[in-house]
Amino acid sequence: MSKPPKNDPTALKDAFMKLLRNKRNEAGYFKARTKLVWEKFFGKHVADNTRDMMVRNRKLYVYVNNAPLRNQLMMVREGIRKRLNEEFGEEYLEEVVIK
């Protein structure tokens, strides 16, 4: 008698992510993924001063409460875009807009 194949957690995760992501909720999918890593990638200070995020037309809009921080993030927004696209495993975000 043969054993049933073991579940591959990576394949299961990939299948689940594909199920969550479709054209209707693609922006919400990437917003949720961004929120999951935002503090880890950019620090507690940035996360605490981020009021909201929105993804629309492959652009990430980040709303920041703190004016000096907003200016700092504007200077590194290309780095933010690259880092998030690396996390996504694809070139999804075309631009990061800081407001």
Structure tokens at 57: 């037309």
Residues ≥6 apart with Cβ < 8 Å to 80: 42, 60, 62, 73, 96
Residues ≥6 apart with Cβ < 8 Å to 91: 85
DSSP β-bridge partners for residue 61 = 54, 97
Q: Which amino acid is at 87?
A: E
Strand order in the sheet with 95-98: 50-56, 59-64, 95-98
| Residue closest to 81 by CA, chosen among 72, 94, 63, 70 | 94
Q: Give the global pTM.
A: 0.80
Per residue in 11-69, pLDDT tens?
776 777 666 677 778 898 899 999 999 999 999 999 999 999 999 999 999 999 999 99
